[in-house]
Every structure is written in C-alpha cells, then in structure tokens.
Amino acid sequence: MAQGIEPRTDAKGRRRYRGVIYSKATGKRHGPWGSFAEAKAWRTRALGEVEAGTAVKGEPTTLREEWNAFYAGAKAGTVQDRTGTPYKPATLRGYERSWRRIDPELGAHRLTAIRRADVQAFVDRLATQGHAPATIRNTLDPLRTLYRRAMARDRVVVNPTTNVEVPRVENGRERFASREEAEELIAALPIGERALWATAMYGGLRSGELQALRWTDVGLSKALIHVRRSCDDSEGESEPKTKGSKRKVPIVPALAELLREHSRATERNGSDLVFGRTDDAPFERSTARRRARAAWEAHDPPLAPIGLHECRHTAASLMIAAGCNAKALSVVMGHASIEITFNRYGKLMPGGETEVGQRLAAYLAA
C-alpha cells in the first residue's frame, strides 16, 4: 500500500482504490472503493478532519457522535454547508435547539441503525406533543444535514430522513403596508425613528443588516446602499445571510431626504453606524419596536403596528407594484435564488393564465 492508498482488482478485472488513514484519535479508517483520484481526495479530507479534531473514532458511530463531530467542525469553520461557506452562528443556534429535541430520542442509536420508521415515529411524537408544524420541520433540519454528510462520505447507504411525512405548514397572511399606509406609518413616528423604518420599508433591508449599516455603506450621491454585513445578537457583526445578501439597494428620493435629515441630527458619518445606539453600538430591535408601536398606538386614529421583517415584505410588494421584474427584485432583496422570490412573492405579481393568454393572442394576431 503506497501513500495510504490501498489497491484491489474487482470481479470485472478493474483496478480500484481506497484511501486509508491511521491516527490515535480515530484508529484505522478507510474510504469507499473508487478511482485513484477519489481515494486520494478521501484521504486528504479525512486527514484534514483529524487535524481539525472533527474526526470521530470508530465506525459506525452513534448519531450523537456524528452530531458532536459536525457541530465542533461547524463552529470551527472546518465543516461547511452545501455552498462551501461556513455555517452562520444563527443557523447553528437553531440546529442546537433542534438537536436538544432529537438527542433523547435518537442520539444513542448507531448512525447506520436508524430507519425511516424511527424518524417517522419521532415526527409523530412531536406532533402528538403539540409542537407546531414549522417547529417539527425545523427540528428535522440538523438530522437531514447529518445524514446528507454521512451519505456523501459513504458512512451510510440509506438516508432515513427522505420521504418522511411531516405536518403541513399553513402559510399565514403576510402583513405588508400599502404605499399610502407606509407613508402614514413613517410620518407618525418621532423624527429620530423615521429613517430606520423608511429604510426597511423602501429598501427591504433585514433587521440585522439595518443594525450593521454604516454611513460608508450609504451613497446618497449615487442613490445606493451597499449591504456588506449583518449583525447577530449573539455574535455581533458578520457576513450577510447568503452570498446574494451582499448587494446594492436603490435609495428612492423619499428615503434619501430622511437619511440626510438623520445624518444631520445625529452628526454621524464615515464608519459610524447609521442607526446605532451610539456610533459603534447597534440599536436594540426590541427597543425600536416598542418606540414605534407606542407612536402608532398614540396616533389619532391609531395605526396598525408593523414589524421590521414585515417592512421587508412591504418593500417587496411596493417594488412589484412599481413594475419591478422578478430577477431584479430577487437581487435587490438579497435572495439566494429567484425561486425564493417566486415562492415568497409570486402571489403578489400581476398576471395569470387569462392575462398570459390575452397577451399571447394579441402578439400572434399582430
């Protein structure tokens, strides 16, 4: 065996190879049979896991051991998601919450011993305990990730999370403000609060992006906001949610005027936070919501409150009403794919089968 690559000749006379490693941490491990390049790639990856401390001793492992290895590697940045980027702290916190429900039920079972029926029984128990459909679906996310990774590394041959029946999530009505309502909601706020909510309603920035926005990101002369980072309540500033989240957002005149007024009132510029409690401390989301709600309830007549995330929906609905096409909307909203845009906002887009038929008939007739 040369360089940790073990050869053999299969029943059809083909030369096959597999990578082999030895370490005190894991003992002997070997990869699947394949080409020499595949065996070499497996060995390189396995040695990297040993070096990073994310390799697990012995195979097959329990689901708990698989989780511990994954979580340690994801926290360290050596285990990445399907797009090849590190897991976001918020994603890992959600996985950790879900794992606390999974571990008592399945954690001690061997990775290869868990069957679809076991996962289905777990889902059924969650439903019986009264968990919401969305909670049940989210609970399965880390389990799906663990088995997807195990399948890719030939540690299992069956993924027991596929074709599991989960409760349907009923889509509630998304709250968004009309053009006139948006203007009224912003005008009812104290002067110092207006620019924040206008940026959410007219720019569609996520709340974390608003928290991390600095004046160096705001180009009033070119009427563009550069979204470069986001803010996490636990981890502080970080990269935005997805690669597509780094984007340019147009500044409409109504928003530009409010931002100029806000700059003059706060006397901030350069690398100062636009909406921070101080030049370098982000605003508290709960405080912003509380102040806005108080202003809207005190208005005569009282106005229906809206949240920062619902302001993002408002921005998307206003762009659609203005005639923005789906691809442009996807870019401005910072969606990872246009499919997300259609799934989330397709119902707001104009046209249907009748309009398509009328347009096609008119084109053919011409």
Q: How far apart are CA 149 and CA 67, in angstroms?
A: 11
What is the per-residue pLDDT for 351? 66
The candidate with the shortest Cα–Cα distance to 249, out of 198, 174, 194, 284, is 198
Contacts of 187-191 spanning 24+ positions with Cβ under 8 A: 188/295, 188/296, 188/299, 188/303, 189/291, 189/292, 189/295, 189/296, 190/291, 190/295, 191/261, 191/265
Between the CA of residue 306 and those of 208, 213, 313, what are the distances in Å? 17, 21, 10
Question: Do the beta carbons of residue 70 and residue 80 sit within 8 Å?
Answer: no
What is the per-residue pLDDT for 281? 94
Mean pLDDT of 219-239: 87
Question: Does the pLDDT value for residue 360 go beyond 80?
Answer: no
Mean pLDDT of 9-37: 79
Q: How far apart are CA 94 and CA 112, in angstroms?
A: 25
What is the per-residue pLDDT for 175? 84
Q: How confident is the model at residue 172 (pLDDT cuts 50, 70, 90)?
A: low
Q: How confident is the model at residue 294 (pLDDT cuts 50, 70, 90)?
A: very high
Question: Does the pLDDT value for residue 295 go beyond 70?
Answer: yes
The domains located in the chain, with CATH, are 1-58 (no CATH), 62-169 (1.10.150.130), 179-348 (1.10.443.10)
The pLDDT tens digits for 280-290 are 999 999 999 99
Indicate the pTM of the whole model.
0.66
The pLDDT tens digits for 73-84 are 998 888 888 878
Q: How far apart are CA 290 and CA 305, in angstroms?
A: 10
Mean pLDDT of 296-307: 95
Q: How far apart are CA 198 and CA 255, in angstroms?
A: 6
Three-state SS for 325? coil
What is the per-residue pLDDT for 60? 47
Least reliable range by pLDDT among 12-16, 138-142, 302-306, 323-327: 12-16
Over pLDDT 70: what percentage of the chain?
93
What is the per-residue pLDDT for 315? 94
Give me the residues paired with residue 29 across strands: 21
What is the per-residue pLDDT for 2? 47
The candidate with the shortest Cα–Cα distance to 98, out of 162, 143, 145, is 143
What is the per-residue pLDDT for 182? 96
What is the per-residue pLDDT for 55? 58
Q: How confident is the model at residue 316 (pLDDT cuts 50, 70, 90)?
A: very high
Look-up: residue for tokens 């609060």? 193
Cβ burial of 212 (10 Å; 0-12, 13-18, 19+) is: buried
Mean pLDDT of the chain: 87
**348 DSSP assignment:** G
Mean pLDDT of 139-147: 95
Q: To which H or E segment does residue 247 belong? A: strand 247-250
What is the per-residue pLDDT for 228? 94
